[in-house]
Structure 1
Amino acid sequence: MVIKHNGKTNPLLSFSNTWDILGPFQIGTREASWGADPLECLGGFRALEPDSRAEYRSSLAPNGLVSWSYHQLDTHAVDPTVAEAVLIVDFPEVDWRFLQSVYGWAALQYQAWARGYLEISADLPQTITFYTDNVIEFWLDNKLYFGGDFYAYRRAPLVLHLAAGKYKVDIRLVRDVRAMGGIGLPNVSIKLKAEISNGTLAMVEQKLLVSDIVDGTLASPFASIPVRNETRGWVDILEIESLNATCVAGMLENASLRLAPGQSRPFPFLLSVQGPSFEPLSLKVTYATSEAPESLLSTVIFHKFLERTIHSPHKFTYLHPGGIVSYAILRAPSNQAICEVKDSNLPILLNLHGAGLEADSKQVRHMLDPVPDLHAWVLFPTGVTPWSSDDWHTWGFADVEAAIKAIPDWIKIVGWKWPSVDADKWLVSGHSNGGQGTWYALTHRPDKIVGAAPVSGYSSIQSYVPYQTWAEADPRVTLAVQNSLRSFRHELLVRNFNGIPIMQQHGSADDNVPPFHSRRMNQLISQSSDDPCHEYRELEGKNHWFEGVMSTPLLRKFYNEILGNGTEPPQLPQKFGIVIANPADIASCGGLVVDQLVTPDQLGKIEVAQDTTTAAWVLTTSNILRFHFTPTGTSMSFTQEIIVDKGSLNLPLGHERFECWLVRSEEGSWHVSDDRTWMMGQRYGAQLGPLDSILHTSGRFLIRISSKEIFDTALQVSRNLFQYFAADSEIVDLNTDAVLRQGNVISVALGPDLPESVPWFHSINVLADHGLVVRKHNGQKRIFQFEEGLGAIFLRPLPLGRLELVIWGYESCGLRLAARLVPMLTGVGQPEFVIVGKRCTWAGAAGAHAMGSFDNFWSLSETSFVG
């Protein structure tokens, strides 16, 4: 319906032109997920009304006081069924330059609040999709929505069902240097969009993911499209079929895909294309709704194939371990490279893109065009999203390895008859965030890397924008938060890549990632090895990005040197070291794989030397409980004789094929064991690590809920997983059997009960008549009485090495606080368990009742904080 007045069309949706602003207030790097809003001491911004005479305490403003102001919308584009608003907010009265001179970029981060209104002028209630670019948290008509769309992905907008009227919109403005930059006036720019929906199943056609056609062949059968349930009931997608005679489409799984009301999910399917010509694709999707289950509905989506030559960079798809379809850009070896290498299997040159870039963008796809004849397969992974989901870490790096594993499938599909791929030999390069990803690859997958070129990359999350402006907390809290991030603190892990050739390149005038990061890593590498195989070059006057940054003469020479020597594995030094932050993240180093640490709260270390006379390996360990050997391409041979912490051991034949473990006793002596029963009741593999270990899922997430009252929380978790990781999740009843599923489980519960756990987990429980019970490492119990704001989020084991993430709240406030800590943005620092309280709303992590780690037996570690 369109309303007309005096012959003019009036919009059905509109945002207010003037917005009331209150701020700025202090906030630390990625602290917003913990709460940390000082206005919560006053009942929250939602409880305040604009008052020109009112003043509020702030550590950022002159005289320590801030007051209300207002801003006009910078743009206000209106369509009868669409309303858009761009709001740019700054605070010129604050002396940002002085603050930055003391605290650096951390001082340019702040939070504020903005209030405006969304007006609906239609006669009938409307279904509305609501997009919130660069927003992490907002209240709409006094209802909280956490997660938003901080990176402006527009993958999972909110679905609202609203009657006519004027709705208050309170938006928490969070300025984040990593996302918004540290140069120029530190303003915050957000974009809102409200659009009237037809209230059906939405297929996001512009985000349809299909492989390219490569010399007449579809490069991969896997395809996917985001779907969104804009009805008020549940939707089941039943079938997909092609309307083209030359194409066949089918469901990826036998079961239907179910969407909860308001839920967005990726819909994966299979495609097969036959014939010499490729007409635009037409696909019919059939679905049913719970509102009218007897009626089958359908929609048609269209796609025009892109055709590429086999040697040009092209898109191919594959399955991510999380059960979703992802893609990478692949460039096969050129004809000249094929002629020069003849029958050798060629290594892979991995190029990791920077933050905010699609791998399929012109900038990334053609980044290495100036070096067309490299003796390698050139792979541009996406990491699932333009921000690589989590900075090329857990979820993003799983995507890298899935893309590598998919190349042999590509070879079969397109009929490639020339040199194959050596999937265990990588030359890794990357720019900016991709440069940091290169450090991650070096520290976590060293045995696969024949060379690396981190370009203009930051050294670690914590070093990019420091954390000193977080709310002041007990040092044990700070320790727990930072401990949960230590696997990404590459400065601590440089020992892992001794002997690997590295070429660092950085512009001397880089104002995005200051050259200090590369200089520091250069210094640490030099200090960690007697004979470092690395070189550092600073390009005079060059900024962060310039045309040809990844193909400078310096890098071309390095690529050709690494790839032109037959890619012989790097020579392991006679002495090298291993530093383990989380055994689940770090693969073999020098053929050694650490399975367990003695305590999870400190780094594990192994120093290795080879006796020049006997060739025996001599190992000195610190905080290592269990490790084993694995075959590797390094040139240092395995031996049966090994000395560990001055004790001599003889290993059985075949030990390098993972037939035994070396295990440390409580007394400190070592023995060889092939007993596998330790995996029953102990943490191992992907179960190790902080909350983001839940991202090690094999299959889609299963979100279980105990009642209708917590459906909104489950929907928020699902939306955020899809928004920030493109991850898939299914919302089901808590009684659904999770044992038979493949993926990890997220259980959401409210009230004086918790869902049952496996028998060997006793650390955190709820007693209906007492409160939340935390059992310390010494067996003592700490009971937190039921009260407003009490909640918990923690990991629990599932059989076969899987994980369950529990989100529990005594009442709605506690549940909301716990749910905020589900992994979403990197750098938040979520330990393995957190007990939250209402004080977290204004004090952030400093307001938590308890947090820390579990040991190898799922008991609280000794250093965990329990208030």
Structure 2
Amino acid sequence: MLIRHNLILYQLFLHLPFGMAQQSALSDDAIWRVELNKTWDVLGPFPIHAREQHYLSPSFPLNLSEPINLNKSWPSSYGDDGKVSWSKAESDANGTLSVSFPNIRWQSLRATEGWAALQHHAVLRTQLTVYPPRFGSAPFPGLLIQLIQGSFFSILPIEPAHCEQHVAEWMSGNIYDMERALPRIVELPFAPSLDKPTAYNIFISGDYEIRLFGDPAVKGSTSPVQTIRLTVDVKKGSHSLMHEPSQDVLCDFVDGFAFGEVIGMGFRSLSGWWTIKKVKLVLPHAVLIAPSQTRTIPVIIIQEYPFLESQLQVEVTIASSDENIKKHTISLPISHIKHWTDIAHEPIRATYLYALTTPTVFVIVPPVMPSLGEPHPPILALHGAGVDVIDQCSWIDYLPRRRYNWIIIPTGRTSWGLDWHGPSARDAWAAVDALCSILQSKRQWHGWQIQRGSKVAIMGHSNGGQGAWYLASRYPDRVLGVVPAAAYIKSQAYVPLSMSRSAHYIDPALRTILESSLTPDDNDLYLSNLVDIPVLAIHGGNDENVPVWHSREAMSILQTRGPNANANVIFHEDPGQGHWYPSVFDNEHVQTFMDSVLSTQERILPASKFTLTVSVPSESGSLHGWKIESLLLPGRLARLQIDTDEFGITKVLTLNVHSFSVDLRLFECRAVHIGESMIPLPADQNTTLHFNFTNRTMCEVMENELANSQPPSRIQDILLSPGPITFVVPDTPSCKGVTVALRLAHDLNVYHKLDSNFLLESTAVMMLKTETLPPSNTVFIGHPSSTFPQIVLDKKKTPFAVKDSHLLLNDIVLDDTNGGRCDH
């Protein structure tokens, strides 16, 4: 077996922290220690809406540059007298802290505002003390901090002299308790004393999320309780680069052959910049890891013979920033399983390479029998929020094995992902294509193949049920049928935004921009795309997590959109059942529905009249061959209404559409009537026609698609980078811009499992001039007067510009009153 390091396709130098950390055998008297006070001061609660903590100040309502008065009360609509005060809480030996406010009349609030009234914010404070070694004078190595189910934390000085010189630097916690997340590497705001204990304040933003903590009524309580865990330790070990096995990405080996194209080795830099020079057998391009960054290094597998060992030995050569070269051998555990049979099988972990550099795992359940004749379409099964399908197979065990159909269970990047939108949706479709490639790679698997670009049936539960609505309504021509179970319609309908704090202060005209950015995620707006797709919606009648009205309302909208549609649309409500029950998919009506939609891949005949609704063309597919390519006003909804008469003449009405296309292999008609134009279609129907509006009423026909220069509609789309997100940072390592980029890289890895790459500005400028920048989305962090942004903005491809060291938008200077800033 030949193991080849992935070349990453570019001339990249990626800073990678690497080292085999070894515990030193020093006595307690010779090492640094840290102690966390178990008594916490707690201020709250304050109303916020779901996920609002991500753009409010984590210390609200406190100004941490001022002294804290523990006797002061603060305005809050949750308190009986309109005020709340400081209280106390105690953490246990494991660092777990329960935060509740029993004096708040939660039932009264909930009676009018629903469970949205349970959403709240609190500020927590305690002290941590750093103790120097009794013997020796080793410098302080830094802290490892893990905050579980808390939003943000910050460490501040206690002494007034230090406070005046320090601005709070907030770091994200692991609020959703993402699996396999590593502790953050944290530097103290000032160095501790070498001869006496040094105390610091640590603050936490504690935010109650219904989606995270659930409804307290399920546990027989009326009071919401935040359960937060904070652990603090001193960074240990004599090496700066560590292999982190929890970050490895490994596929199963079936009869000795890897069921995937790539494996990944996780590395983390505890300090310094490190470069992965090579993996044994091949000289690859270097991979750079920045201080505190974690990266999973991809290794492409080329295999000719079975590999039956339990451990795979890989030799890795690393170099520090001062070119100190080291070699390390890493042992990777290999899981071997036997080829599946008609009576025995195991779920298989498979791998592929996401966005050029990121090894990614997904799980599959093999069919009972190989294909007889044409390949059979697979089932795409989407898990709910917080379900880790890699290490927790219980959810998969309740998916009945199919006779001829593979079941593909993607991770969605993480157990929470992006609600199966954005990178999570891309991951789901990529898993389908990856399985096709894997099955084609070995002769013994050819009888089980699926077609590339195969249509799929989609099923999902809870958040995965919402994801099933999303994927099916955005890519209807790839879907044979959809089974959303216990699904919510959209996030702001699941937990209403009525308790918003920011809404009281934002200009309503500006607030609508923020709210309209949710348009691409609002599933109810796109249900017109499903009027010809078979749908079986399932919901437990007593669902305590996602109220059953969500599925009822979704089906009502769907049936209103297409009262005369051809599709089989069914709603099945299981009386008395809660959110999850083992038979949700394992029952006769679901399997009968699946049998009917998977029995053929013939295209679904369209209704004579249907509507395609799109808001982001780059994240949307076609409906009966019709596809919206670009919009007149990006960010606004666009619609194509298709109406075909008995003579085969199709009338097209458009809303906010600049260009569109129709694949004549998927839609049959004789002519198209658009605005004032009647356009006869060519005799050759094996083609795609492209239409472009030259004005409001005139439309021209083209054989080739227009180059789409339209930018993405919202900043979140930067996550859809074709490669690792590239951070361009100042050349000065101690610059604040570098620390901001490192914090963002950490969050991208924890919350989305997205890779990131660092380039010093001087290197990026050189690449920019020689047009060798990697094909990825790039983030510059620094001053507007720097060379890199000036070169980019001088091309005048955006309304931004730099003048006299100021950033301008449409010739207006962006300052603190009208622009964004990053104080922490």
Give the TM-score normalised by structure 1.
0.81
Residues 818-829 of structure 1 correspond to what in structure 2 (within 5 A)?
Answer: none
Identity %: 22
Q: Which residue of structure 2 lines up, in the alignment, with residue 197 of structure 1?
A: 236
1:428 CA drift (Å) = 0.4
Q: 313, 319, 323: which is aligned to 1:282?
A: 313
Structure 2 unmatched runs, 5+: 1-24, 157-166, 193-197, 218-222
Instruction: State the match for 2:141 in structure 1.
Output: 126
**Counterpart for residue 102 of structure 1:** 112
| Residue matched to 1:702 | 726
User: Match for 1:494: what amino acid?
Assistant: L
Distance in 2 separating the partners of 1:317 and 1:28? 38
Q: Which amino acid aligns with 2:34?
A: L
Is residue 550 from structure 1 mapped to residue 597 from structure 2 by the alignment? Answer: no
Task: Tell me the equivalent position of 1:147.
Answer: 172
Q: Deviations over 1:70-106 (max 9, x none)?
A: 1110x214xxxxxxx1111111111112212222222
Q: Distance in 2 between matches of 1:268 and 1:216?
A: 20
Whole-angstrom distance in 2 between the partners of 1:815 and 1:655: 55
Distance 1:36 1:100, change over 3 A: farther
**Aligned to 1:616, which of 629, 636, 649?**
649
Q: Deviations over 1:215-236 (max 9, x none)?
A: 33211230113321002x2111
1:320 equivalent in alignment to 2:354: yes
Identify the residue that residue 600 of structure 1 maps to in structure 2: 634
Deviations 1:798-842 (A, max 9, x none): xxxxxxxxxxxxxxxx2347xxxxxxxxxxxxxxxxxxxxxxxxx
> Is the counterpart of residue 13 in structure 1 residue 34 in structure 2?
yes
Check if 1:572 corresponds to 2:606.
yes
Question: Quick one: distance in 2 between partners of 1:790 and 1:618?
Answer: 46
Residue 522 of structure 2, aligned match among 468, 489, 492: 489
Quote the residue 1:362 is aligned against: 393
**CA distance in 2: counterparts of 1:38 and 1:728, whole angstroms:** 29
CA contact 2:255–2:306 (8 Å) conserved in 1: no
* 1:117 to 1:298, Cα distance in 2 relative to 1, 3 A: farther
User: Deviation string for 1:733-769 (max 9, x for gaps)?
Assistant: 2241254212111111235554432624241233226
Does 2:423 correspond to 1:418? no
Aligned to 1:815: 822
Change (3 A) 1:87 1:256: same
Q: State the match for 2:54 in structure 1.
A: 33
Cα distance in 2, alignment partners of residues 559 and 365 from structure 1: 17
Tell me which of 745, 750, 759 is aligned to 2:778.
Answer: 745
2:702 matches 1:641: no
SS at match of 1:262: coil
Gaps of 5+ in 1: 78-84, 242-248, 776-780, 793-813, 818-867
Match of 1:47 in 2: 66
Contact 1:72-1:87 within 8 A present in 2 as well: yes
Contact preservation (8 Å) 1:156, 1:719: no
Q: Kindly report which structure 2 residues correspond to 1:595-744, keeping only aligned pairs within 5 A, or say none.
A: 595-613=629-647, 615-630=648-663, 634=666, 636-637=667-668, 639=669, 641-652=671-682, 657-658=687-688, 660-674=689-703, 679=707, 683-684=709-710, 687-708=711-732, 709=735, 710-735=737-762, 736=764, 737-738=767-768, 739-740=771-772, 741-744=774-777
* Cα distance in structure 2, aligned partners of 1:570 and 1:197: 61
SS at match of 2:822: helix
Partners of 2:125 and 2:187 in 1: CA distance: 21
**What aligned pairs does 1:157-236 form with structure 2 within 5 A after superposition?**
157-161=183-187, 164=192, 165-184=198-217, 185-195=223-233, 196-198=235-237, 199-231=239-271, 233-236=272-275
> What whole-Å deviation, never above 9, does each CA across 1:492-532 have from its counterpart, x for those lacking one?
11111121110011001101111111010010011000234
Contact 2:616–2:635 under 8 Å retained in 1: no
1:377 is aligned to 2:384: no
- For residues 440 and 284 of structure 1, the distance between their equivalents in structure 2, rounded to whole angstroms, comes to 43
Q: Deviations over 1:419-472 (max 9, x none)?
A: 531342111000001100100111111001111100001111121111122222
Distance 1:657 1:193, change over 3 A: farther
Secondary structure of the residue that 2:618 maps to in structure 1?
coil
Question: Residue in 2 aligned with 1:245?
Answer: none
Residue 96 (structure 2) aligns with: 86
Secondary structure of 1:391 counterpart: coil
Q: How far apart are 1:180 and its partner, in Å?
A: 2.2
CA, structure 1 residues 276+29, in 2 after alignment: closer, same or farther (shift >3 Å)? closer
- Three-state SS of the structure 2 residue aligned to 1:347 is coil
Q: Which residue of structure 2 lines up, in the alignment, with residue 859 of structure 1?
A: none
Q: Which residue of 1 aligns with 2:18?
A: none
Superposition deviation, residue 149 in structure 1: 1.7
Q: Give, as a single letter, the amino acid of the residue that structure 2 aligns with 1:130.
A: I
In structure 2, how many angstroms separate the alpha carbons of the residues matched to 1:287 and 1:707? 22
CA spacing shift, 1:419–1:137, aligned 2, 3 Å: closer
* 2:107 paired with 1:63: no
8 Å CA contact retained: 2:357, 2:755: yes
Alpha-carbon distance in structure 1 between the residues aligned to 2:96 and 2:686: 60
Shift of 1:21: 0.8
Query: 1:263/1:791 Cα in 2 relative to 1: closer, same or farther (>3 Å)?
Result: farther
Shift of residue 567 of structure 1? 3.5
Q: Which amino acid in the other structure matches residue 158 of structure 1?
A: R
Give 1:115's match in structure 2, choosing from 120, 125, 130: 125
Whether the aligned pair in 2 keeps the contact of 1:120 and 1:166 (CA below 8 Å) is: yes
Q: Structure 1 CA distance, aligned partners of 2:623 and 2:616?
A: 13
CA distance in structure 2 between the partners assigned to 1:752 and 1:295 by the alignment: 37
Matched residue SS, 1:344:
coil
Alpha-carbon distance in 2 for matches of 1:116, 1:3? 28
Does the 8 Å CA contact 1:116/1:168 hold for their aligned counterparts?
yes
* 8 A Cα contact 1:282 1:303, kept in partner: no
Change beyond 3 A, Cα 1:190–1:221: same
Task: Give the aligned residue type for 2:750.
Answer: Q
Residue 386 in 1 paired to residue 415 in 2? yes
Specify the SS of the correspondent of 1:749: coil
SS in 2 for 1:476: helix
| 2:330 matches 1:300 | yes
Residues 150 and 39 of structure 1: CA distance in aligned 2, closer, same or farther (over 3 Å): closer
Bigger shift: residues 500-509 or 719-728: 719-728
For 1:554 and 1:22, the matched residues in 2 are separated by: 51
CA contact (8 A) 1:218 1:272 kept: no
Q: Is the 8 A contact 1:327 1:382 kept in 2?
A: yes
- RMSD of aligned Cα (Å): 2.5
* Residue of structure 1 in register with 2:12 after alignment: none
Distance 1:766 1:137 in 2: 33
Aligned match for 1:474, one of 507, 515, 533: 507
* SS of corresponding position for 1:584: helix
Q: How many residues are aligned here?
A: 745
Which deviates more, 191-200 or 484-493? Answer: 191-200
Shift, 1:148, TM fit: 2.4
In structure 2, how many angstroms separate the alpha carbons of the residues matched to 1:216 and 1:202? Answer: 29
CA distance in 2, matches of 1:161, 1:530: 62
Q: What is the match of residue 150 of structure 2?
A: 135
Offset of residue 568 of structure 1:
2.8
Counterparts of 2:551 and 2:266, CA distance in 1: 39
